[in-house]
Structure 1
Amino acid sequence: MDISGNTVFIPGSTSGIGLALARRLRAKGNTVIIGGRRTELLDELAADGFDTVRIDTADAGSIRAAANEVITRHPDLNVVVAMAGIMRVEDWHHPDGFLASAEETVTTNLLGPIRLIAAFIEHLRARPDATIVTVSSGLAFAPLAATPSYNASKAAIHMLSESLRLQLADTTVRVGELEPPSVRTALLPGQEDSGFAMPLDEFADEVIKLFESQPDAKEIQVERVKFLRYGEARGDYEQVVATLNAADPHGKH
């Protein structure tokens, strides 16, 4: 993705990684539309100069309505970042400990991006240069025991990204995959203060530098995520998994 001159829609960017990237992308000369569920946060961001759209990425109807609104207001839209996601600690010893959470996680983290891409793909294909950015995780490549459904949903996003890149190779749409490590956000309780997690500003600054230096990158990887991403290729996967779960045994990722 080129670092400037784009019109970018980022659902799930009223806080955390999404908002940090939205601010930096705007500072680089992009028009950024922020999507989210919480109207009070959208109002604050609108007052800060962002265009905003209410969207619930767990609701298929909300995605379609938001896509129509964004495309109508911004016909030059050429980048969609599927940022929205949830992470839940689960206990798979009995169904009450995981089933509802697993269903919600898959709906938000996997069906959400699929529906989002479906809502925008025809518009993006009509643009001379367009990009879809998916968001997986280092946990797509090495599992945290406390969050099975999150790990699985992000692994699915990785393979979805790989597959779409192949299938859309005959179009003007590029597919990039952002692979965050643990970052100090409110994704899980206590994560904002976790010494295990990467500081948010440090992560966002490094991502923007990667967009600048590697505009055609298929996978956007800060250095810190490579420990998780390449364990199997290095041959130390079991050690990576053990280290990850010893450092963060309760899901404070």
Structure 2
Amino acid sequence: MSAAEPRAAGGPRPPTCAIGIMAKAPQAGRSKTRLCPPLTPDEAAALSAAFLRDTAANIADAARSAPITAYAAYAPHGSEARVAAHVGARTGLVLADGTPPMPAGVQGFGRCLLHAIRGMLARGHAAACVLSSDSPTLPTRRLIEAAEQLLAPGDRAVLGASDDGGYYLLGLKAAHAEMFADIAWSTDSVAAATRARARAIGLPLVELDPWYDVDDAPSLSVLIAETGGYAAPVTRALLGRLERTGRLADRLAPA
């Protein structure tokens, strides 16, 4: 049991919101490939590891202010130890490889997202969020707000849209498969399609302020320049080393 899950003496636990980082073990040549170049495969894998560490720490900070439990929603099966090494002992693990049977229309990455939501809700949480691992400086307040909204009475969804048209967070109180059906994943229409699904099933949708994912050279430049979000100390330290030893700013400069 984490510090975010206090037991009520002689009674049931208070309701909690699970937040699961969609996580894959960092691996050179398979992690952050859209950042190669300007990064080398080894640098991209190191950045992926830094993102996981900072995102897990960010959830832990949020859990000091709201009843939040942290998870890494990992894939593939068998990578538990490699993922756990980057998220810490206070972060639980839940398989999210999308292999269980899914409703019609839930395909691709949507299978993994729904698998993660189902897995966290099955552990007794009142709500569950899937969280991008590509937003290491996401303001902690966004996570607290997501939990507060989801733990309020009444069914609803919470959406945190990304600047690129996707989303960095989706939270649900029930595993509404329609929210993951017939979505063109990895396109700029994901957030809009998710809003449309909520309208179609009559599910109230609360929107958080937007943020950005770091998945290509322009968004990496945004991360380097940005100062308004979560401190992300592991990521910042790595970027500093890459600048000192690898002239990162020169590699990011327009040709």
Say whether the fold is shared (TM-score over 0.5). Answer: no
Band the TM-score falls in, shorter-chain normalisation = 0.3 to 0.5
TM-score normalised by structure 2 residue count: 0.41
TM-score normalised by structure 1 residue count: 0.41
Task: Give the structure with the higher percent helix.
Answer: 1
